[in-house]
């Protein structure tokens, strides 16, 4: 097990960016940058034990500075869409940054994916880790309350784990996720239509024409979204 920490350039405003590379005893590696708490690469073995990078991304920081598709990012404060970029909480209506025509997507134009996080390398009992933290001030992108966020990537001998925590000093909304795209073949020139997926879910939220949930909770059985058994895309 090992952790490598190196300089990875700087943002246009001069903030230093680092790259952390975690290695486990099985030969896997995960590289994470403190810019956007992004998972840059993850090598994993195929059925024959051959290692390949299974996440999509860019080779350098420049690609992520113009990351249109949120490759590998930690997105927030709220992943997905907020209709009309407005919500009401405890009787107060908040207008947040509208980075799309009819909604806010993934925390706004300057969401967590565009921020430089504080980073630290830590060796744990479970494996090498990088702990990333970011303090989002009250009012940032229109959201109420200061929100202190911690994301910890740990490369165990079984794979990569992500744990997230958030604390706030006043009522707010938060919905964090990692936004990696996976291709388990390791060949990003191919599609994933032959991948098999299983989702332990029996219901889903139907959405409208701009992918905002309608409020209905529908059964998955018999729909194209039913992955209760291993199913190809």
Domains and CATH numbers, the chain: 2-74+117-187 (2.70.98.10), 193-233 (no CATH)
Q: Taking residues 88-109, report their average pLDDT.
A: 97
CB 114 within 8 A of CB 106: no
Q: What's the pLDDT tens digit per position in 143-160?
A: 999 999 999 999 999 999
Q: What's the pLDDT tens digit per position in 43-86?
A: 999 888 899 999 999 999 999 999 989 999 999 999 999 999 99
CA quadruple 233, 178, 7, 20: dihedral, nearest 10: -80
Q: What's the pLDDT tens digit per position in 171-227?
A: 999 999 999 999 988 887 888 898 999 999 999 999 999 999 999 999 999 899 999
Q: With 80 as the cut, is the pLDDT of residue 164 above it?
A: yes
Give the pLDDT score at 190.
87
Q: How are beta strands 118-123 and 128-136 bridged, if at all?
A: antiparallel
What gap in Å lies between CA 1 and CA 210, rounded to an integer? 45
Q: What is the pTM of this model?
A: 0.93
CB 27 within 8 A of CB 21: no
């Amino acid at each position: 097990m090992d952790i490598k920490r190196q300089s990875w350039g700087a943002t246009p405003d001069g903030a230093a960016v680092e790259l952390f590379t975690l290695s486990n005893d099985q030969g896997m590696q995960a590289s994470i940058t403190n810019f956007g708490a992004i998972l840059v690469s993850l090598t994993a073995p195929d059925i024959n034990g051959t290692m390949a990078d299974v996440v999509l991304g860019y080779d350098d920081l420049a690609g992520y500075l113009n990351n249109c598709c949120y490759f590998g990012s930690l997105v927030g404060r709220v992943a997905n869409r907020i209709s009309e970029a407005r919500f009401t909480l405890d009787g107060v209506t908040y207008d947040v940054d509208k980075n799309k025509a009819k909604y806010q997507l993934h925390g706004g134009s300057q969401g967590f994916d565009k921020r430089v996080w504080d980073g630290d390398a830590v060796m744990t009992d479970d494996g090498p880790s990088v702990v990333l933290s970011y303090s989002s001030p009250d009012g940032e992108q229109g959201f109420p309350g200061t929100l202190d966020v911690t994301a910890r990537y740990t490369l165990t001998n079984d794979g990569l784990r992500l744990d997230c925590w958030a604390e706030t000093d006043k009522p707010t909304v938060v919905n964090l996720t990692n936004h990696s795209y996976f291709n388990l073949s390791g060949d990003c020139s191919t599609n994933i239509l032959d991948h098999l997926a299983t989702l332990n879910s029996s219901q889903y939220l139907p959405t409208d024409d701009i992918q905002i949930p309608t409020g209905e909770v529908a059964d998955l059985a018999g729909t194209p979204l039913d992955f209760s058994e291993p199913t190809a895309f």
